[in-house]
Amino acid sequence: MNCSKCKIRLKEVKVKVYGAKNKVLSYQCPKCHYFEFEPESSKKVVEELRETPLKIKQNIIKLSQDRLGIYFNVNIVRSLGLKKGEEVLLSVPDKKHILLELQENKK
């Protein structure tokens, strides 16, 4: 496959998508940086992300003056064995994700 503008061969580059094991194959032009995803592999990744076992819509609640919080519903509490007072590590990888990491050696 060639770049429609530069007429040179597009480079195949595998792109990692956050949260997915499969990589998306993309075609990139080394000259003009034209970029397109290979449809089959991107479909696979979208499907994989959709199959994430728990994806639940939650509202952010107001806790006090400047503090907000979210509830963990009973399904999440049970499947992860969460307990009150437990420590989690919170990180913000980008402006659309909040990542909570549970401590390793949990019983």
- Give me the residues that bind Zn ion (CB under 5 A), please: 3, 5-6, 29, 31-32, 34
**What is the rounded distance in angstroms from the CA atom of residue 42 to the CA atom of residue 57?**
24
Which CB atom, from 25 or from 29, has the smaller least distance to Zn ion? 29
Q: How far is the CB of 56 from Zn ion (least distance, A)?
A: 43
Q: What is the CA radius of gyration of the chain?
A: 20
Select 15 or 17, whichever has its Cβ closest to Zn ion.
15
**Cα pseudo-dihedral 87, 92, 96, 97, rounded to 10:** -40
To the nearest whole angstrom, how small is the minimum distance from the Cβ of residue 25 to Zn ion? 18
